[in-house]
Amino acid sequence: MDLTEDMRDLLKLHLIPGLGPRLTAALLERFGSAAAALRARTAELQQVPHIGANLASKLRQAIDTLDVQAEIDRLIEHGVTLLRRGHGDYPPALAQIAGAPELLYVKGRIEPRDAEAVAIVGSRFCTSYGKKTAEKMAGDLARAGFTIVSGLARGIDGAVHRGALEAGGRTLAVLAGGLSRIYPPEHRELAEQVKDQGALLSESAMKMEPMAVLFPARNRIISGLSRGVVVIEAGEKSGALITATHAAEQGREVFAVPGAVDSTASAGTLQLLRKGAKVVRHAQDVIEDLRGIAPLVTPTQATAEAAAQPPPGLDPLQLRIWELLAQPTYVDDIARRIDVPVAELTRSLMLIEMKRVIRRLPGNQYERW
């Protein structure tokens, strides 16, 4: 793996124990680069907010003893790449959240279409109802073109990834520990399938054990990658509720699937509904809500230029409709300008929407994807 000196320096900074994303960001802001931060004397490190004398001394000692090449060797061994915040394929929506990881470990591939992502999370101790609902929700959303995000945990998370995979969709799994230590171990085969149809992600160093303290921080990445978070069967103290809290703080939509009122597996989910989470019964509820909301990130210039080219496979009427939809347009206006019977227009709109060339907005409007 051929890392630039700047990336090697950032990786070394990333590997320092106890130096999380906020302190890393503070160091980069104070010194201007990872290299300058690594060269800083103990007294200079102390001048950074929230770094006192004791921590500054420990940081200086760690900087002098860390073996960054060993971590690079592990990246090569396990086929893992590094993405830097704000560069390359680093997910733009994740880059915008507070405390975004400066480095993201990725096994698999992040693609531009992953900007249209929905997270589905829930209890490790799910019921058959929860598992069935999670699999179907994930599969239906994947077939609608959404990338499905979850945490590879037992229970709901595993059902979510399997549902997306069986539908032939993309799915991202965010791990708390390092990518050389798949957890839980019985999901190694599932993790390999996720890698082939999406990616495994982590902010943790390769050999980091999946300690309990890492999971709440991991959950902010799950929500940060997504336009909305769907909670299915969360107990009163479920980690899925932490993901929902992160989602609300990040400005993401929070959805909850109702469960039986006397089910302990759904106690946390029902509490979310009392606090204002949106009730969803199936994937279509999520689709209708999210496709009426502007995307979290602005498309790149290249994407905008590609969108201006007529998509293949449209018949003459469908092409005329597509050409009209450079801006959101009401159905009545489309019908008036094209001058075709409403039944024929409705049928064409439905067919183009199924191809994910256009999408319906609230108020009976349509626009291009």
Q: What is the DSSP string of 272-336?
A: HHHTTPEE-SSHHHHHHHHTTS--SSPPPHHHHHHHTSPPTT--HHHHHHHHHTTS-EEHHHHHH
> What is the predicted pLDDT for the residue at 220?
97
- The 3-state DSSP class for residue 190 equals helix
Cα distance between residue 188 and residue 66, in whole Å: 29
| Cα dihedral 358, 361, 366, 367 in deg (nearest 10) | -60
> What is the predicted pLDDT for the residue at 368?
82
Query: Among 45, 75, 83, which Cα is nearest to 63's?
Result: 45
Cα distance between residue 277 and residue 294, in whole Å: 19
> What is the predicted pLDDT for the residue at 300?
45
The sign of the dihedral angle between the CA atoms of 47, 51, 52, 53 is negative
Evaluate whether the domain defined by 93-290 bears CATH number 3.40.50.450: yes
Q: Where are the domains of the chain?
A: 1-66, 93-290, 301-368
Query: Among 35, 233, 253, which Cα is nearest to 27's?
Result: 35
Q: Which residues pair with 201 in a beta bridge?
A: 106, 174
Q: Which stretches of the chain drop beneath a pLDDT of 70?
A: 1, 294-295, 297-308, 362-363
Cα distance between residue 181 and residue 276, in whole Å: 37
Query: Among 74, 72, 19, 68, which Cα is nearest to 48's?
Result: 19
Q: Which residues pair with 365 in a beta bridge?
A: 330, 361
Instruction: Identify the CATH class of 1-66.
Output: mainly alpha
E strands present in the chain: 81-84, 103-108, 117-122, 147-150, 171-174, 198-202, 228-232, 253-257, 278-279, 329-330, 358-361, 365-368
Cα distance between residue 208 and residue 8, in whole Å: 19
> What is the predicted pLDDT for the residue at 294?
65
> What is the predicted pLDDT for the residue at 20?
85
Phi, psi (rounded to 5 degrees) for 205: -60, 155
Structurally, at CATH architecture level, domain 301-368 sits in: Orthogonal Bundle (1.10)
pTM: 0.78
Cα distance between residue 22 and residue 1, in whole Å: 27
> What is the predicted pLDDT for the residue at 305?
41
Contact 236, 268 (CB under 8 A): yes
Q: Which DSSP letter does residue 81 get?
A: E
